């Protein structure tokens, strides 16, 4: 029988009962990393299906609606999970009608958050399965890879592809990210069909499990395995 402490149960219910906590416009307003708990960031081109994916994972039809309300689209939105971890919804990028000044602010906020946030355990990158790996998606990967933390790509709207097209797209993206070793992974996802949820939860759940183990080692005084950033050639400044 499962107990609530079982990793299987924790992973299956990872995103359920998420609650909106706060929105942040400037790096200086980010909650202190030391007190914030582990964070999992969600990023993607605007309209790729990020809000729908967050809602689907959370089993909540309007959770990420908050990030769609006027004035909030350029903010980082935090949703607290029952485990104490946070889902962090980053502003969508690539929206053509955005003035240059706003684009610059977006860039600064995202780059700062992705490259320097100490309690960030991984990045979920949402891409429309019909247009994966655009230049800005690749930019996000390049910002994040030096941290040594994992990236998991959700190829959303997979329901819009035939089975054959979906298999081909998955294979092409896998080939393109092979250069990052196992640090970047990919799967198909559909919010409409509710497919790919278990796979996403098990990948992201494993990041949090690994984080728990590292923390336990630190508190028990055991010799620490190399920090994630060290594996990839040193922490960022
Ligand atoms: P965001 O801007 O990245 O947050 O994108 P949204 O989640 O708002 O989705 C943009 C559009 O794509 C909306 O019209 C959604 O209904 C649609 N959409 C999102 N996910 C899916 C999906 O898995 N399948 C289909 N068919 N449409 C989707």
Q: What is the pLDDT of residues 202-227, one digit of tens each?
A: 999 999 988 777 766 666 655 544 44
| Contact predicate 199/117, CB 8 Å | no
- The domains found in the chain, sorted by start residue, are 12-207+225-231 (3.40.50.300)
190 C-beta closer than 6 A to ligand 1: yes
pLDDT (tens digit per residue) in 133-148:
999 999 999 999 999 9
What is the residue-wise DSSP string for 199-226?
HHHHHHHHHHHHHHHHHHHHHHTPPPPP
For a pocket test of ligand 1, which of 52, 72, 126 has the largest count of ligand atoms closer than 8 A to its C-beta?
Answer: 52
Q: How far apart are CA 98 and CA 104, in angstroms?
A: 10
pLDDT for 73 equals: 66
User: Quick one: which of 17, 41, 39, 126 has its CA closest to 89?
Assistant: 41
Query: What residue's CA is closest to ligand 1, atom 18?
Result: 49
Instruction: Tell me what the pLDDT averaged over the chain comes to.
Output: 85
Q: How far apart are CA 235 and CA 227, in angstroms?
A: 9
Burial (CB < 10 A; 0-12, 13-18, 19+), residue 208, is buried
Phi-psi region of 9 (alpha: psi -120 to 50; beta: other; left: phi over 0): alpha
CA 46–ligand 1 middle distance (angstroms): 9
pLDDT band at 3 (very low <50, low <70, confident <90, very high): very low
What is the SS3 assignment for 164? helix
Taking each helix axis from N to C end, the angle separating 197-220 and 50-58, rounded to the nearest 10 degrees, works out to 70
pLDDT (tens digit per residue) in 115-168:
999 999 999 999 999 999 999 999 999 999 999 999 999 999 999 999 999 999
92 C-beta closer than 6 A to ligand 1: yes
Structure tokens belonging to residue 98: 């955005």
130 C-beta closer than 6 A to ligand 1: no
Alpha-carbon torsion angle 51, 54, 59, 63, nearest 10? -60
157 C-beta closer than 6 A to ligand 1: yes
In ligand 1, the atom with minimum distance to the C-alpha of 46 is: 2
Q: Angle 40-20-117 (CA atoms, 0-180°, nearest 5)?
A: 30
Alpha-carbon distance values, 119 to 128, 196, 211, 213, 230 (Å): 28, 26, 9, 14, 15
Query: What residue's CA is closest to ligand 1, atom 15?
Result: 49
């Amino acid at each position: 029988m499962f107990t609530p402490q079982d990793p299987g149960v924790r992973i299956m219910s990872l995103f359920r009962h998420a609650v909106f906590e706060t929105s942040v416009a400037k790096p200086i307003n980010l909650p202190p990393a030391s007190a914030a708990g582990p964070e999992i960031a969600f990023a993607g081109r605007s309209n790729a299906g990020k809000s729908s994916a967050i809602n689907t994972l959370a089993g909540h039809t309007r959770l990420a609606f908050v990030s769609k309300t006027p004035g909030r689209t350029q903010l980082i939105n935090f949703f607290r999970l029952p485990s104490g971890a946070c889902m962090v919804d980053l502003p969508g990028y690539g929206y053509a009608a955005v003035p240059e000044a706003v684009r610059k602010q977006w860039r600064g906020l995202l780059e700062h958050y992705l490259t320097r946030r100490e309690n960030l355990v991984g990045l979920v990158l949402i891409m429309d399965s019909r247009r994966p790996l655009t230049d800005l998606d690749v930019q996000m990967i390049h910002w994040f890879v030096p941290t040594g933390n994992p990236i998991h790509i959700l190829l959303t709207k997979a329901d819009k592809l035939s089975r054959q097209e979906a298999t081909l797209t998955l294979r092409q993206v896998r080939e393109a990210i092979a250069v990052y070793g196992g640090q970047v992974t990919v799967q198909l996802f559909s919010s409409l069909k509710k497919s790919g949820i278990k796979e996403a939860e098990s990948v992201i759940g494993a990041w949090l499990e690994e984080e728990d183990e590292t923390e336990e080692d630190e508190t028990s005084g055991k010799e620490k395995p190399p920090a994630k950033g060290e594996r990839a050639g040193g922490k960022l400044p």
